[in-house]
Amino acid sequence: MWMKPACSLLLAAAFAYGQIDQIDKGHSAHGSAFDTGPRQKPWVMEGIGVAPFPITTKNPEVQKWFNQGNALLHSFWYYEAERSFRWCLKLEPDNAMAYWGLARATSGRGADDTRAADFLREAVKRKDKVTERERLYIEAEEAVLLPDPVRDDSGDRDYRTLRRAELKKLETLCIKYPEDMEARALLALVTMGDSRYGAELMIREILAREPNHPGAHHYRIHNWDYNQPEQALASCRAYTDLVPGIGHAQHMPGHIYSILGMWHEAALSMDAATRVEKQYMRTSLTFPFNNWNYAHNRTYLSYIQEQLGMAEAAIFGAHQLIDAPLDPVDNKENTYSTHSRGIAAMQRALIKYERWDDLLNPKTIPWRDAYEDKMNKAYCEGRAWLGKGDLEKAAKSIDAHAALKKDPDKNKDWEDTYTIEALELKGRFAIARGETGDTIVGLGLLADAAGREYDMQKQYADPPFYPQSLYNSLGEAYMDAKSPVLAAQAFEKALELTHNDIFALSGLVRAYAALGEKAKAEDDMARLLFVASNADAGLKILERAKATGITATPRDSSPAPQRNYARVPLDHFGPPRWEPYAAPALDVHDAAGKSVSLEEYKGKNVLLVFYLGPECPHCMRQLHEIGQKKDEWDRLNTVVLAVSSAASEKNGEALKQFGDLPARLLSDPDHTNARRFHSYDDFEDIELHSTILIDKKGRVYWARFGGDPFSDMGFLVKQVERMNELAGS
């Protein structure tokens, strides 16, 4: 059996095939900065906008890819921008501005700026080989990114001081080169939000000369996001039309539309954004966990669909995020991961739409053993039991929530949310008991929670961190207490923060109808009917308003015209749902020279490993670890295929040397298959370690490309279990 030989013996045998290169196989010869990021060559991308940026180069093709990278930077698509700039270096290894582009594409994109600093140092070394204009661009980035060995000996650099130094260089660029709109775009980028008027003036100057500049429209949207957002409306449609091929370009106008209560336009933006990203993932063999904005887009779309009364669509989106493959990098969930955003979206939709049985079903939300999840689970169960009228079980859930206050694992990041949840639960419980004194106390607690939740959301609702607007909840509680005056005040307060909120509008229709203020009730009904024109049939919040007998003609109260979300076709942006991708063709030969393809394994899962040959000790260690899970692979109906460039004869020798290997060793001598499966570095012409899971239908569900061989076998087993479960659902 493969599991019997000691790993050390296997590694020793691996060395017998040849000495390991000085450069660790599968890693960049140019240093760790090149070991992450894209490894395949770029392609000409459509729909990304146009932003030419002339640089010093002897090769016209370098200029072409540099322009593409620059256009991608203007829409914050840093990963793909890095790919274009890397290819510039492949074509012209000594190009200073290609290194500058790489520094910009990687700056601020990780725990630190180590990679960006490494790239920029290479640009600085070569800045005497470029024009004065290009040198100023390099020095502007240098001012903010690289430490000064004389002035910064403490290693603690003040961000604002650095930013001022960068601004001075960019201002010099703008004055010396008045025709260079790229300098103005960069200056607008670094000042937006802090100097909104100044940034807007620069943006207007750019657009007067270049009306289709993608960066100018993009930066205007960010500049006014949450601060007079109507100022950005002129650029919202322009940006989405100019840059249809980038998800973030579709996404950002959705922020503006949401803040303004233009929910139909917001849904069109966010839906288009998720479709563009799903199409990109499908064609580039990437996944939700390594697509930087997908989780944010999808949870935002679910929130918008909730605001439109489209509960089923919102819940579907939450399922898409929960069921997506998990992040293979560190296997730890964070608040902004795809899985975490799915849990938050599901919790929000089920609470808003009072789906109490679904909320109590343990299969609906995959709660994890983290403080955030323990807190929210107790809160959700408390809300559900209160909603079902079971005060005894609600009390137990509220006690479980209260006990978390002393939890040693308590995360300070969740302290404010915990406090609001606790106040809300206590308030609702007191009201539910029905005693006069309890009702007054409960309304006071709920009002306190509502004020705190309002202040939290006012800071930045992106979308709201709390699952429900508590001023709406307070309004409903006042309606139940026969206090329509106070209810109307609470609902109006909710509308201040969330414009055209259907829950607030429904409450106002009922409150004003109860007060006999028919004109106000009709006005709010007209707004409600417009927003909820695509709502699910029989939606309770809509039916409650209609039950008052108030009628109206739907009317949009937004600051700009809107299209109807349900009537605008979006299929040209991409597919409506994420699914595993059809695996590329596998055309290899086994140790006996027999042709092998994935068709041979239809109906079985495939764990496909690209490794660097029997002489690679890291690879053989990975195969050893895979072999230790042989019983698990058998249980999960999974076969293991291991592909390298080693010839069939060499694989045959390896089988004799190592005994009963857990994998079928396959030969890909010219790297054709490695390229198809993104297991080859086109920039350095080297093989890469890759671990790929393919389901029974021949679709790629999960993969890890590059870096060291993936070694967390427990994680892989869980992913195959998820893959089987989803394939059967």
User: Which candidate, 299, 391, 301, 390, places its Cα nearest to that of 347?
Assistant: 299
Residue 549 CA to residue 298 CA, distance in Å, equals 37
For 647, phi and psi rounded to 5 degrees?
Answer: -65, 160
User: Which candidate, 400, 486, 482, 500, places its Cα nearest to that of 447?
Assistant: 486
Residue 611 CB-half CA count within 13 A:
30
Q: Is residue 666 within a helix (H) or strand (E), and if so which, with residue range? A: strand 664-667
For 375, phi and psi rounded to 5 degrees?
Answer: -65, -50
- E strands, 167-265, in order: none
In this structure, the number of other CB atoms found within 10 A of the CB of residue 59 comes to 12
Residue 379 CA to residue 387 CA, distance in Å, equals 12
Q: Which long-range contacts (CB under 8 A, 24 or more apart) does 44-47 make?
A: 44/68, 45/72, 45/80, 45/245, 46/245, 47/243, 47/244, 47/245, 47/246
In this structure, the number of other CB atoms found within 10 A of the CB of residue 562 comes to 17
Q: For residues 481 and 439, is the Cβ–Cβ distance under 8 A?
A: yes
State the catalytic residue, choosing from 174, 380, 616, 619. Answer: 619
CA–CA distances in Å: residue 587 to residues 441, 600, 696? 72, 11, 18
Residue 191 CA to residue 170 CA, distance in Å, equals 11
Residue 189 CA to residue 212 CA, distance in Å, equals 17
CA–CA–CA angle 225, 85, 253 (5° rounding): 20
Tokens of 49: 């906008």
Residue 50 CA to residue 46 CA, distance in Å, equals 10
Residue 429 CA to residue 425 CA, distance in Å, equals 6
Q: For residues 214 and 243, is the Cβ–Cβ distance under 8 A?
A: yes
Clarify whether 619 is annotated catalytic.
yes
Catalytically annotated residues? 619
